[in-house]
Structure 1
Amino acid sequence: MRTMQVREAKASLSALVEAAANGEPTTITKHGKPTAMVVPIEQGRKLYPQGSQKDFVDFLLQYPGGIELERNQSPSREVEF
């Protein structure tokens, strides 16, 4: 696996993409610490399956303690038409 700094990665993005297409992941570092990784699409799909994206409401409803919603049904202001 290859490692490079952000500055170097920006300058050689096409090479990073080509390496990933050939199955070679690359770690990108910032100030010497690993911060990102460019991986082949197959590996990325294993980590983040396409069908797993849910909307924000579903995300909130999965909260372990549950969420009780109370809505104020009264209008926030009186409007005359």
Structure 2
Amino acid sequence: MKSLQLREAKATLSAVIEAAENGHPTTITKHGRPAAVVVPVADARRIYPVDRPSLAEFLLGMPEAIDIERDPSPMRDIDL
């Protein structure tokens, strides 16, 4: 994987995008540390799927209802 400093990535952004289109990811570093990776769209869609259900949709889609019981003991006193 190719690695570029942020300044160089800014100056050659079109080349970085073209490399990603051709399937070659590029790591962009800032102050010597990896800060971002430019990847092909297909890879990004695989990593971050758009059609992932929300947590509420996931829980509502469970086959059986979850029975949750509340603890009946009284709450503790808090001194403020």
CA deviation after TM superposition for structure 1 residue 50, in Å: 1.3
For normalisation by structure 2, the TM-score amounts to 0.64
SS in 2 for 1:3: strand
CA shift at 1:52, angstroms?
A: 2.5
> What secondary structure is seen at the aligned counterpart in 2 of 1:46?
helix
Runs (4+) of structure 1 moved beyond 4 Å?
none
Distance in 2, Cα, partners of 1:28 & 1:53: 31
Unmatched runs of 5 consecutive residues or more in structure 1: 59-81
Aligned length: 57
Aligned AA (1:38):
V
Q: Deviations over 1:6-48 (max 9, x none)?
A: 0011111100110000000000000000010000111100111
Aligned partners of 1:42, 1:35: CA distance in 2, in Å? 21
TM-score (norm 1): 0.63
What is the aligned partner in structure 1 of residue 48 from structure 2? 48
Alignment of 1:1-80 (within 5 A): 1-52=1-52, 54=54
Computing the radius of gyration over CA atoms, which structure comes out larger, 1 or 2? Answer: 2
